[in-house]
Amino acid sequence: MLKLFYAPGTVALATLITLYEVDADFEAIAIDFKQAAQTKPEYLSINPKGRVPALVTERGLLTETPAILVYLAQRYPNAGLLPKDDFDFAQLQSFNSYLASTVHINHAHRMRGTRWATQESSFEDMRSKVPQTMLASFELLQQEYLRGPWVMGEQYTVADAYLFTITSWLESDGVSLAKLPQVAEHFERMQVRAAVQKALELQASI
């Protein structure tokens, strides 16, 4: 059985949604970030990075959202969560990589400035920039890469769970969805999916 280590409000939501989408047999284990459980030896023995998500499989540990999402889609091919065309698959990987390497980092500057600096003035400068960088990133996604109704067009893929998860952070980052109508429509479309509702219900129960 798969084991997912996650924390509410984190990017692990994308993996949780995908596990429900593929109807996987899995155990979800919440890590209490408020108690800094991710920094304790018990969790570090599972994932030395001290981050979530962490997916324990029969063959070992997987970390990093883009890798986990593709693994699940390939492990459960009948769910149809990946494009069959090689170029389309590469574009999906490009989309997910941008979310991981740029958009998520923009968001993290709001509350995790200690990863990059030591002075409080630096932290405040990072926080003040977040609404601008997040809006710019999502405007780019909306204008250039969101094909609609799903990220890849007519086919729902793992990229949609990933986009939904990071979209859910926008309001707290000072970005109104009213400025991003196509993203807002995607967000609403996602909310009615059974897998999304199950994932949100599990998070709310913690």
Cβ atoms of residues 68 and 15 within 8 Å: yes
What confidence score (pLDDT) does residue 119 get? 86
Question: How buried is residue 23: exposed, middle or buried, by Cβ count under 10 Å (0-12/13-18/19+)?
Answer: exposed
Q: What residue type is assigned to position 79 of the chain?
A: A
Which pLDDT tens digit goes with each residue over 35-82? 998 999 999 999 999 999 999 999 999 999 999 999 999 999 999 999
Cβ atoms of residues 96 and 73 within 8 Å: no
How high is the mean pLDDT in each 10-residue block of the chain (206 residues)? 97 98 98 93 97 98 98 98 98 98 94 80 88 98 96 98 98 97 98 98 90
Domains and their CATH numbers in the chain:
2-79+196-204 (3.40.30.10), 86-192 (1.20.1050.10)
Phi-psi region of 64 (alpha: psi -120 to 50; beta: other; left: phi over 0): left
pTM over cut 0.85: yes
* CA–CA dist 88, 93 (Å, integer): 9
* CA–CA dist 163, 141 (Å, integer): 10
